[in-house]
Amino acid sequence: PEWREQKKLFVERVKVDEPFAAQYGELGPVYGHQWRNFEGVDQLAQLVSDIKNNPDSRRLIVSAWNPKDIPVMAKSGLPPCHTLFQFYVSEGRLSCQLYQRSADVLLGVPFNIASYALLTLMIAQVAGLQPGDFVHTFGDAHLYSNHLEQVEEQLSREPHSLPVMAINPSVKDLFSFQFDDFELQGYDPHPPISAPVAV
């Protein structure tokens, strides 16, 4: 589809065009930086190792909230909104709970749900588990006053059947996934609803 090609072009441009990357590709020491290098700790690699080797642990946690970096994060945009997630293994199923300190219900939350559900599917696959539940908790869930018409439109729509995410089953390392390893099957969206982003 066209969106897939646009995504590839965007990613490639971020890699080679420094002014473009500075404007659109660099968020400062936020999510990815904290997940992979929180004061020298690769939390994602440790998480996957712990899930595989100690699945009963109650410490399967990744945090993006690094108080030392909050001032830098604030200068380049926002401190992390989805701040912490925890995995839980029970009866061969991997579940994820996300704590989100601040949640734009119309624009942000649907993306957050899809992102963390996908992350759960990916980690479950590389850990040899089945996906379980996704639990989403909010500190401050909000609807902006200039989103109310769009929310009414969204709520008036009949839900369609849910799509299925097909993932290349040969990938066994979390950091080896490529864009083409994913295919969203049976996705039948309603027309898009536009709304301004508030920061």
**Type of residue at 174:** L
> Are 124 and 131 within 8 A, CB to CB?
yes
Distance CA 69, CA 65 (A): 8
Residue 7 token pair? 């995504």
Residue 81 a catalytic site member = yes
Active-site choice (47, 81, 98, 124): 81
State the pairing for strand pair 82-90/61-63.
antiparallel
Distance CA 98, CA 105 (A): 15
> Are 21 and 44 within 8 A, CB to CB?
no
Helices (H), the chain: 2-16, 18-20, 31-37, 43-53, 70-76, 108-127, 148-156
Residue 93 token pair? 């199923």
Q: Which residues are catalytic?
A: 81
